[in-house]
Structure 1
Amino acid sequence: MTKPNPSSYFWAAALLFCLSSWGCTNPEETTVVVDPPTEQPKTFTNPVYNVGPDPWVIQHDSTYYVTYTTGRNITLIATKRMSELNTGNAQARVVWTPPATGFNSKEIWAPELHRINGVWYVYYAASDGENRNHRMWVLANDNLDPLTDNWEDLGELELPDDKWAIDGSPVEIGGQRYFAWSGWEGDVNVRQLIYLAEMETPTRVVGDRVKILEPTENWEKNNVSPEVTEGPQFLQRGDFVFLFYSAGGCWTDGYSIGALWMDKNADPMLAESWSRIDTNPLFVSNASAQAYGPGHNSFFTSRDGTEDWILYHANPRQGMGCGDDRSIRMQKITYAPNGFPLLGQPAALGQRIPVPAGE
């Protein structure tokens, strides 16, 4: 009987160790590559601000400034990211309080913040407490930061014919500045029309007013009295100028958004230059999304400049009308092959939505 060779036990044990623990392989050949954890996309949910009728947004440098109807003052909100409007990362401040009495002391509606020639302007509608006395008014601030205190009341923005006026919005088209608003044709509240006039300076409107739009479509009339077209907002893209508007009466759930379009080289002061988009209304109530009476919108561009977004108000339940239950919401918009905007339908409250690109 042959005795076992001790050295054979040693080599067998060594081979078993190498096979079981990879202890005999080259460390460089056994490096395990671990994939980094996948970064989850950033999202937000609507509403982005709990109370905010008639929201307006403007971007200056890297900051967005948002304002809305409080009825009693001008409040501005500054934020680096629109998805964080309702968080501690945004700064809200009352920058102007109206006088106790006078024709711009009450019913402070639909303010808009604009920066023109290095000066901040706020255009807003106000009255003395009597709705029939609503007119457009202007504030100015030459500070770089609009959240500072040095706002100056420049008085009424005198519009042609001196009629009831709200929802004023200046725009520059082809190197000329214009002012659009919703107003009465006469001195009685029969219907609200969209008017346009030329601006000589940021505080001076000149010439005649031109009626651009009156409610004639069924969705615009919406079986309400008075009939309403209001909240004019401009979006210029490619070869087109779009004028968005809200119609149907904010006190109804039929309040919706439509748009006119014009060739960018046409004369905006000619009513025949403007046409309704065939797919109007573009944005309507969505019961499953808890979005009733969506309207009075504005637009902004994502931080990286690749996306266009709509900012608008809507009620969470039926029959809530024109009050403070209207919250601020936002979502990305797209465009059809012909270059016309596609707003889709209001996104649901609580739905996770990717943040604007660049945030």
Structure 2
Amino acid sequence: MAEEILNPIVLQRADPFVYKHTDGFYYFTGSHPLYDRIVLRRAETLNDLHDATEIAVWWKHENGPLSNLIWAPEIHRANDKWYIYFAAAPDTNIDDNTFNHRMYVLENASENPLEGTWVEKGEVKTEMSTFSLDATTFFHKGEQYYVWAQQDLDIKGHSNLYISKMENPWTISTKPVMLTKPELPWEIKGFWVNEGPAVLIKNGKVFITFSGSATGVDYCMGLLTANEDDDLLDPNSWTKSQEPVFQSCPENGQYGPGHNCFTESPDGKDTILVYHARNYTELVGDPLYEPNRQARAQKIEWGEQGNPIFGVPVPDKRWTPKTPEVLK
């Protein structure tokens, strides 16, 4: 019998990302609530991530484009090296109270990404010079793809989802293609948002989950689906869920689940959904700096047509903080 997952798996880490490597470790990163660093930890089980030693592998710059609001890091492997994708804003956006993030990449050639040197590979540039964030990457049929959220000033809303192929882990090679924009009622509460894409390839299909609405109780997940043999750069290959596939569950005390990723059980038999959620709705202070979006995980079921069934966020099994202080 598989070990029961005890939630939260990591405290106060929003936008969680878990990479299960061939060395038997789960590598974890997520947004630190002070938004000033990129952190990593590893463990042999998801439950053990909770108390694993965490180290900061990169810190924001004193000034310039990498000096503010470090968001949503993800750790990936490509060409036998480690890469971290993240978003950062310049210090200038503090003055006009707007977000002006761009997407960046770090590289590490060490076997263990908690060691060695992380080298800045620069900005991942797209055709638009606008607010962009939440990049993820995946390999399919021998090619690397890049999926991210970005604002188009000619489209109503704060961010849409785009896809492109990559010529290397820090450079896109094809024209960005928009896959979805916020338009349905559950995507436009508080903010008009499609963000936080995560890719899952299984049962002959390619799935991309994403999150919509503002990051409070209305935050929820949608789903894009394509056949694995289709042209993933053709928007017509993708079908979008008309209703959220994962959302708040007051009965279980979980609110605003989203910004997920996927991993698997130690034996590889089960697909695991990793996401963040809060277990209360009354926030104190600026919601951006409210630290208690906890990283959580649970098993996904599968339907007869080979599509994921996410269910609802499960109840907590571990203590969680409920004050606005950041844990040390």
After TM superposition, the score normalised by the length of structure 1 is 0.81
Bigger Cα displacement from structure 2, 318-327 vs 65-74: 318-327
1:326 corresponds to which residue? 293
Bigger Cα displacement from structure 2, 296-305 vs 189-198: 189-198
Unpaired segments ≥5 residues, structure 1? 1-39, 352-359
Report the residue type matching 1:233 in the other structure.
A
Report the residue type matching 2:226 in the other structure.
M
Report the residue type matching 2:118 in the other structure.
W
What is the DSSP-based 3-state SS (H/G/I as helix, E as strand, rest coil) of the residue aligned with 1:103?
A: coil
Q: Are 1:97 and 2:59 matched, yes or no?
A: yes
Unpaired segments ≥5 residues, structure 2? 319-328
Bigger Cα displacement from structure 2, 144-153 vs 319-328: 319-328
Q: 1:330 deviation in Å?
A: 0.8
Q: Distance in 1 between matches of 2:248 and 2:138?
A: 28
Q: Are 1:146 and 2:110 matched, yes or no?
A: no
Q: Percent identity?
A: 31
2:38 corresponds to which residue? 74
2:192 to 216, 221, 227: 227
Q: Distance in 1 between matches of 2:82 and 2:184?
A: 37
Q: Distance in 2 between matches of 1:137 and 1:60?
A: 22
2:6 corresponds to which residue? 45
What is the DSSP-based 3-state SS (H/G/I as helix, E as strand, rest coil) of the residue aligned with 2:26?
A: strand
CA contact (8 A) 1:48 1:86 kept: yes
In the TM superposition, what whole-angstrom CA distance separates every residue of 1:311-335 from its partner, at most 9, and x where no partner exists? 1100110143443110011111110
Q: Distance in 1 between matches of 2:128 and 2:217?
A: 32
1:197 to 152, 164, 167: 164
What is the DSSP-based 3-state SS (H/G/I as helix, E as strand, rest coil) of the residue aligned with 2:41?
A: strand
Report the residue type matching 2:25 in the other structure.
T
CA contact (8 A) 1:121 1:139 kept: yes
Distance of aligned partners of 1:132 and 1:41 in 2 relative to their CA distance in 1, 3 Å threshold:
closer
Distance of aligned partners of 1:189 and 1:155 in 2 relative to their CA distance in 1, 3 Å threshold:
farther
Q: Distance in 1 between matches of 2:302 and 2:123?
A: 38
Q: Distance in 1 between matches of 2:135 and 2:253?
A: 29
In the TM superposition, what whole-angstrom CA distance separates every residue of 1:49-69 from its partner, at most 9, and x where no partner exists? 111100001011201100000
After TM superposition, the score normalised by the length of structure 2 is 0.89
Q: Are 1:236 and 2:201 matched, yes or no?
A: yes
C-alpha RMSD of matched pairs (Å): 1.8
What is the DSSP-based 3-state SS (H/G/I as helix, E as strand, rest coil) of the residue aligned with 1:84?
A: helix
In the TM superposition, what whole-angstrom CA distance separates every residue of 1:167-209 from its partner, at most 9, and x where no partner exists? 0011222222111111100289832100112211111112321
2:217 to 253, 257, 266: 253
What is the DSSP-based 3-state SS (H/G/I as helix, E as strand, rest coil) of the residue aligned with 1:85?
A: helix
1:297 corresponds to which residue? 260
Q: Distance in 1 between matches of 2:44 and 2:295?
A: 17
Q: Are 1:155 and 2:119 matched, yes or no?
A: no
CA contact (8 A) 1:196 1:212 kept: yes
In the TM superposition, what whole-angstrom CA distance separates every residue of 1:140-166 from its partner, at most 9, and x where no partner exists? 011111001411111211122222110
Number of positions where the alignment pairs a residue of Structure 1 with one of Structure 2: 306
Q: Distance in 1 between matches of 2:204 and 2:140?
A: 12
2:272 to 287, 290, 309: 309
Distance of aligned partners of 1:269 and 1:341 in 2 relative to their CA distance in 1, 3 Å threshold:
same
In the TM superposition, what whole-angstrom CA distance separates every residue of 1:100-159 from its partner, at most 9, and x where no partner exists? 111011110000101101111111000113244210011101111100141111121112
Distance of aligned partners of 1:111 and 1:187 in 2 relative to their CA distance in 1, 3 Å threshold:
farther
Distance of aligned partners of 1:207 and 1:41 in 2 relative to their CA distance in 1, 3 Å threshold:
closer
Distance of aligned partners of 1:60 and 1:67 in 2 relative to their CA distance in 1, 3 Å threshold:
same
2:248 corresponds to which residue? 285
What is the DSSP-based 3-state SS (H/G/I as helix, E as strand, rest coil) of the residue aligned with 2:148?
A: strand
CA contact (8 A) 1:135 1:166 kept: yes
Report the residue type matching 1:333 in the other structure.
I
What is the DSSP-based 3-state SS (H/G/I as helix, E as strand, rest coil) of the residue aligned with 1:207?
A: coil
What is the DSSP-based 3-state SS (H/G/I as helix, E as strand, rest coil) of the residue aligned with 2:65?
A: coil
What is the DSSP-based 3-state SS (H/G/I as helix, E as strand, rest coil) of the residue aligned with 1:162?
A: coil
Q: 1:91 deviation in Å?
A: 2.7
What is the DSSP-based 3-state SS (H/G/I as helix, E as strand, rest coil) of the residue aligned with 2:128?
A: helix
What is the DSSP-based 3-state SS (H/G/I as helix, E as strand, rest coil) of the residue aligned with 1:120?
A: strand
Bigger Cα displacement from structure 2, 157-166 vs 315-324: 315-324
Q: Distance in 2 between matches of 1:123 and 1:331?
A: 24
Bigger Cα displacement from structure 2, 320-329 vs 175-184: 320-329
Q: In proportion to residue count, which structure has more helix? A: 1
